[in-house]
Amino acid sequence: GYNVVNLGIKQPVSAILEAAEEHRADVIGMSGLLVKSTVIMKENLQELNQRKMAADFPVILGGAALTRAYVEQDLHEIYEGEVR
């Protein structure tokens, strides 16, 4: 199973990365219910790329706002790490 650290809603990517490092996360999960969430997730993945942290953190993405095609094609193409 997973040990989940729930940071709550509307967390800046800096808080997500700080928690991931503090808790020595194996993966970062993000979920979104609104279409705006898809844009934020994309920006977060780009930020991980810019910080050269994509290889350190695979991501699991989900929620009502996402489609399988968007995750597997669009986000997978831009992220330098693993997307699930």
Sorted by where each starts, the structural domains of the chain and their CATH numbers stand as 13-78 (3.40.50.280)
Q: What is the mean pLDDT of the chain?
A: 95
Compute the average pLDDT of residues 57-82. 94
pLDDT of residue 8: 94
Give the DSSP letter string of 3-62: ------SS--HHHHHHHHHHTT-S-EEEE-SSHHHHHHHHHHHHHHHHTT-TTT--EEEE
30 vs 59: CA distance, rounded Å: 8
Report DSSP state, residue 70: I
Does the pLDDT value for residue 47 go beyond 90?
yes
Cβ count within 10 A of residue 75: 19
Residue 1 above 90 pLDDT? no
